[in-house]
Amino acid sequence: MAKMANSLRDFDRLAEENSKKARIFFQMGSYEEALAAYWEAEKAWKKMADILFEKGKEDRGKEFCEKAQEARSFCGMSLFKLERYQEALDIIDSFLEIKPDSPIEWSNRGFVLSALGRNEEALESFEKALSLDPGSPKILTSKGIVYAKMGLPEKALETFDRALETEPRQASDWACKLPRFSFFSRNKAPIMRPDNAETWYWKGNVFLELGEKEKALEACKMALESDPDHLNSLLAGGDLLCEFSEYGEAFKCYVHALKLSPGNEAAMKGKEFCEMKING
């Protein structure tokens, strides 16, 4: 028994260490390293589960089996980031065979299918996710993005509006941000609001496609009210402000974008253009 306990501790320590490393690698954008570390964590937890099942400890075995499945799910996310979409889809489908009622995995499946150009199937996956988690703003936004990619602006805008009207239910759906630029907010105190920057950003994209630049700019402003560090909205907002000859505000967008993404080519070009316009 002592030998088994020591083996379990060793496997658990190995799994936890690899899982922590994987999370750090993923946040850094080092997806190959994240993938390798998540695989190691998955193998160690699976080994623990097998040992416990062999000893008749079903409950504890299931606990570590679930940890192994979670690590495998993160492998799928890493593969998605590496654009290895079919491999990611295979992992998601295998996960859904075990847990068919997971809205997160159905949503992930929608992401992967959309990346593969299988947008109709992606919509079906997002619908399934919404049937399990009705009114999720993140899933609604993802569904709206697929409509936008399919060239269905009316359906996209309708879905984004549904997402924006939905009350956040999780801590991750809220953001406490201090607006930093004059056109974002006059309020200098930290504010708590839904973290819906991505929804507003994509809504702005749809307005831009429709040629409604003022509405697109307003959507960018709303995105940055929610998250002043939303890089894509800073770049899109800067470009739109330039079109309205608001070069001072556009300059601020590009400068902040460069703080978040040093060397960003679009931000560098935008900043130089604004400097030229401001200095005459």
∠ Cα 195 197 129 (to 5°) = 70
CB atoms within 10 A of CB 13: 11
CA distances from 240 to 17, 86, 260 (A): 46, 37, 19
Supply the mean pLDDT for the chain: 88
% of the chain at pLDDT higher than 90: 73
- pLDDT computed for residue 2 by the predictor: 52
pTM beyond 0.85: the answer is no
The per-residue pLDDT for range 108-148, each reduced to its tens digit, is 999 999 999 999 999 999 999 999 998 899 999 999 999 99
pLDDT at 59: 86
DSSP letter at 172?
Answer: G
Least confidently predicted of 10-24, 114-128, 227-241, 248-262: 10-24
pLDDT tens digit sequence for 40-76: 999 998 988 888 888 888 888 888 898 999 999 999 9
What is the Cα–Cα distance from 98 to 96, expressed in whole angstroms? 5
Query: What is the pLDDT at residue 1?
Result: 53
Cα separation, 78 vs 88, in Å, equals 8
State the pLDDT at residue 163: 94
238 has a pLDDT exceeding 50: yes
For residue 40, give every residue at least 6 positions away whose Cβ sits within 8 Å of its Cβ, in sequence order, or none.
14, 15, 18
Mutual angle of helices 85-98 and 103-115, in 10-degree steps: 160
Q: Which of these ranges, 19-28, 74-83, 194-203, has the smallest mean pLDDT?
A: 194-203
pLDDT at 179 over 50: no
Q: How confident is the model at residue 185 (pLDDT cuts 50, 70, 90)?
A: very low
Collapse the DSSP code of 42 into the 3-class scheme (helix H, G, I; strand E, B; otherwise coil) and give the result: helix
- Report the pLDDT value the prediction gives residue 200, as an integer from 0 to 100: 97
**pLDDT confidence of residue 135:** 83
pLDDT of amino acid 167: 65
Residues 125, 181 contacting (CB under 8 angstroms): no
Whether the CB-CB separation of 197 and 219 falls below 8 Å is answered with: no
- Determine the Cα–Cα distance for residues 115 and 256; give it in Å rounded to an integer: 29
Owner of token pair 């799928």: 76
Give CA separation, 72 vs 38, 88, 193, 199, 228, in Å: 7, 10, 33, 28, 33
